[in-house]
Amino acid sequence: MQINWQKEVEQRKEQLIKDTQRLLQIKSTLDEETATEEIPFGKGIKEALDFMLDLGEKDGFSVKNVDNYGAHLEMGHGEELLGILGHLDVVPEGEGWTTDPYSADIRDGRIYARGAMDDKGPTMAAYYAMKIVKDLGVDVNKRVRLILGTDEESDWRCMDHYFEKEETPTVGFVPDADFPIIYAEKGIADFTYEFNGSVHEGAEATLLSFSAGQRFNMVPEFAEAVVTSDSVEAGQWEERYSRYCEDHGLSGTFSAKEGTVTFTMDGISVHGMEPDLGVNAGLRLAEFLVTLPFIGDDERFLSFISQFCKESRGRELGVAYSDDITKDLTINYGILSYEHGGKGKIAFNMRYPVTFDFANGWSVLEKVASDHGFSIQMKTHLGPHHVDADSDLVKTLQKIYEEHTGQEAELLAIGGGTYARAIKNAVAFGPLFPGREDVAHQKDEYIIIEDMLKATAMYAQAIYDLTR
Ligand SMILES: [Zn+2]
């Protein structure tokens, strides 16, 4: 049977836009204030979930709400299950919008709203894709489920709970990232190196405190260190520091008061998945301070940083690795802190290629720690995700993408994480087309209606082709 998917979508365009607007008008941010045991993420998210379930029921899908953590709408029959994962929660709207972020105004062929692109617009596109296949009455040989998450932007408690209770799809795609197809995602782990320092005397200089950064996965944008000195040398530090900053194109300050000197450094904060796009204020400040005459644990903290943490590929730590699928392992040193006579801490986010031997990497990191009197802890770990480029799933979606866009369906690998990780045989498929501005989490977030229609047509065909 030849079906013109784009035409089927065009015929339902008005209703698709209207339903998308209605869903976007619900403020579905995580709301701890109204959260209860029964509605774990608060009233707004519950309202969005109910909206989708009502819509699904009205259109004749079988629906199931899993304890208000997640839900699904289902059609078809068969042993196998095709899962499409979207999420209804949104990040807070923030400041600076041109119009109310929950009005879902249409301007210049775009719908403007928080969640338009991430991920309520695309979720509605996937819903209409299912509806079209259902309306056409074509036979499918699998069950097809639209799985609705509600805590993607925070802690993924939704999918953890949902998949504890419900079966995992055998195959799936996720409309919550980029077109053409993301088939590989790096492993992501957070670690801390720590030691308990002791007070010592007789030093020419003492590092009272050092601090930079607050989050594992962000490059620190500011660092500060407080130093005391009994020697005359302190007078020369100001000049040395300003020369250091000038030579390296950095911006730092120096202020001295009653035997105490405060150094600050400005960096450029970016997401930790590619630290080289930013400037790590903590590393740059430590690199200077290590040249001052510290001893004992002050010196240990700074020289560990300058020896092992100076770049983003883990070379000095001994874990550098790269593969053709996901490229370089990266490390972001997100939090650096030290108190004289107290704790020294280096917290970092590591993103590693899909073929990396993680257990071995961890033992290498442990050895560096123990050799230098640090302890190491792994705080979180998400394994890598990778679907074979020659799999039926990938080949099918590539063919669909090429037919609908006339462009080559290049396979993408990323350092971030998508919902596709929840299913072994799943890839991210849209909704952001190559060359389009990425407005997720930004003010004036929008979805281009034409793109949404095209995505809907591709999703409908994907459901059809993957259930042959
Ligand atoms: Zn999302």
pLDDT band at 232 (very low <50, low <70, confident <90, very high): low
| Percentage above 70 pLDDT, the chain | 99
Smallest Cα–Cα separation from 223: which of 181, 266, 163? 266
> 110-112 and 105-107 as β-strands: parallel, antiparallel, unpaired?
antiparallel
Kindly tell me if the per-residue pLDDT of 156 is higher than 90: no
Instruction: Report the run of H or E that residue 189 belongs to, with start and end.
Output: strand 187-196
Rounded to the nearest angstrom, the distance between the alpha carbon of 153 and the centre of ligand 1 is 7
Smallest Cα–Cα separation from 82: which of 172, 174, 175, 176? 172
Q: What pLDDT does 258 receive?
A: 84
Q: What pLDDT does 154 receive?
A: 83
The one catalytic residue among 19, 74, 89, 151: 89
What's the distance, CA 290 to chain centroid? 34
Distance CA 220, CA 333 (A): 8
Six-digit token pair at 238? 């100001």
Rounded to the nearest angstrom, the distance between the alpha carbon of 295 and the centre of ligand 1 is 48
Rounded to the nearest angstrom, the distance between the alpha carbon of 280 and the centre of ligand 1 is 27
Kindly tell me if the per-residue pLDDT of 331 is higher than 70: yes
**CA angle (88 as vertex; 455, 42 as ends), nearest 5:** 175
DSSP string, 213-254: -S-TTB---EEEEEEEESSTTHHHHHHHHHHHHHHTT-EEEE
Residue showing tokens 């520091």: 241
Rounded to the nearest angstrom, the distance between the alpha carbon of 152 and the centre of ligand 1 is 7
Rounded to the nearest angstrom, the distance between the alpha carbon of 118 and the centre of ligand 1 is 5
Average pLDDT, the chain: 95
Rounded to the nearest angstrom, the distance between the alpha carbon of 396 and the centre of ligand 1 is 23
**24 neighbors 116 (Cβ within 8 angstroms):** yes
| Percentage above 90 pLDDT, the chain | 90
Six-digit token pair at 466? 């993957």
Question: What confidence tens digit (pLDDT) does each residue in 400-441 have?
Answer: 999 999 999 999 999 988 889 999 999 999 999 999 999 988
Kindly tell me if the per-residue pLDDT of 133 is higher than 70: yes
The one catalytic residue among 8, 118, 119, 152: 152
Ion ligand 1: residues, Cβ under 5 Å: 118-119, 176
Distance CA 283, CA 297 (A): 17
Rounded to the nearest angstrom, the distance between the alpha carbon of 202 and the centre of ligand 1 is 55
Q: What pLDDT does 451 receive?
A: 98
**CA angle (77 as vertex; 73, 83 as ends), nearest 5:** 45
> 120-132 in b/e burial notation, b at 16+ Cβ within 10 A?
bbbbbbbbbbbbb
Distance CA 440, CA 432 (A): 10
What average pLDDT score do residues 324-348 get?
97
Least confident of 170-179, 185-194, 256-265: 256-265
Q: What pLDDT does 255 receive?
A: 94
CA distances from 339 to 191, 211, 248 (A): 20, 9, 27
Six-digit token pair at 393? 């799933």
Question: What confidence tens digit (pLDDT) does each residue in 67-115 have?
Answer: 999 999 999 999 999 999 999 999 999 889 999 999 999 999 999 999 9
Residue showing tokens 């709207």: 93
Domains along the chain?
5-186+385-466 (3.40.630.10), 188-382 (3.30.70.360)
Question: Which backbone phi and psi does 413 adopt, to 5 degrees?
Answer: -125, 140
Instruction: Report the run of H or E that residue 119 belongs to, with start and end.
Output: none
What average pLDDT score do residues 373-396 get?
96
Rounded to the nearest angstrom, the distance between the alpha carbon of 80 and the centre of ligand 1 is 26
**223 neighbors 268 (Cβ within 8 angstroms):** no
Does 431 sit behind a cis peptide bond, omega within 30 degrees of 0 on the bond before it? yes
Six-digit token pair at 128? 């209409």
User: Dihedral of CA 130/133/137/143: which sign?
Assistant: negative
**456 neighbors 125 (Cβ within 8 angstroms):** yes
Annotated catalytic, 89?
yes
Rounded to the nearest angstrom, the distance between the alpha carbon of 87 and the centre of ligand 1 is 7
